[in-house]
Amino acid sequence: MTVDQAYSILYTVVLICLAALIAVAIIRTFIGPRITDRILAVNMIGTIVITAFMILTTLLQESYLADVALIYAMVSFVAVLIFSAVYIRKNKEDR
């Protein structure tokens, strides 16, 4: 077994583990008792997807995937900001 094959197997196993973590975070998004749990789960999903994109960049040796990961990071950040703003506004109205 060469080093490249070992890295390929390692990256594949890590991607499978990340997929399992995304599934757990999606479940947490739907059953989270509070809105803050849901916001954190969505943020965690975004972080895991960015990590998966960067691993795929290395595994497939496609540099454009790094650009996709950066764009996804910006979109994910803005989405969490919007979710937080909606939560804060809703919390102020409830008082």
pLDDT digits (tens, 9 = 90+) for 38-85: 999 999 999 999 999 999 999 999 999 999 999 999 999 999 899 889
Residue 64 confidence (pLDDT): 93
pLDDT confidence of 90, banded at 50, 70, 90? confident
Q: What local confidence, expressed as pLDDT, does residue 27 receive?
A: 95
The residue type of 28 is: R
Q: What pTM was computed for the model? A: 0.86
Q: Is residue 35 predicted with pLDDT exceeding 80?
A: yes
Q: What angle do CA 72, 80, 66 make, to 5 degrees?
A: 15
Q: Over 80: is that where the pLDDT of 95 sits? A: no
Statement: residue 36 has pLDDT above 90: no
Q: Are 22 and 42 in contact (CB under 8 A)?
A: no
pLDDT at residue 87, rounded to an integer: 87
SS3 75: helix
